[in-house]
């Protein structure tokens, strides 16, 4: 497969990832509204532990490095907290 074709596939995946991240942001905003309404804490350690456990399974199932997924999810969780903090305050 030519390099240009592979890069076009990567570009399409990147576009799809951005669309999914936008959808995820919308859901995070809804979570923040619920947390605000019910006076729930921003940080929920049990949820973060649950996510970490899922990452280990995802990594194993898809033959990826757990640390690789943890880095990506850490950034997403940090961004999620920042978005929620703006709404909850």
Q: Average pLDDT over the chain, rounded to whole? A: 97
pLDDT in tens, 36-48: 999 999 999 999 9
Is the pTM value of this prediction over 0.85?
A: yes
pLDDT at 6: 98
Q: What is the mean pLDDT of residues 9-26?
A: 98
Mean pLDDT, range 34-61, rounded to an integer: 95
Radius of gyration in angstroms for the set of CA atoms belonging to the chain, rounded to a whole number: 16
pLDDT of 73: 96
pLDDT at 1 over 90: no
Sorted by where each starts, the structural domains of the chain and their CATH numbers stand as 3-88 (1.20.59.10)
- pLDDT of residue 89 exceeding 90: no
Distance between CA atoms of 2 and 23, rounded to whole angstroms?
32
**Cα-based distances in Å from 42 to 1, 4, 13, 54, 72:** 47, 44, 31, 21, 20
């Amino acid at each position: 497969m030519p390099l240009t074709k592979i890069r076009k596939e990567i570009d399409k995946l990147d576009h799809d990832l951005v669309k999914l991240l936008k959808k995820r942001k919308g859901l995070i905003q809804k979570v923040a509204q619920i947390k605000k309404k019910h006076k729930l804490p921003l940080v929920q350690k049990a949820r973060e532990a649950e996510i970490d456990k899922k990452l280990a399974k995802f990594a194993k199932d898809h033959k990826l490095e757990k640390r690789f997924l943890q880095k990506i999810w850490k950034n997403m969780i940090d961004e999620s907290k920042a978005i929620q903090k703006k709404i909850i305050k």
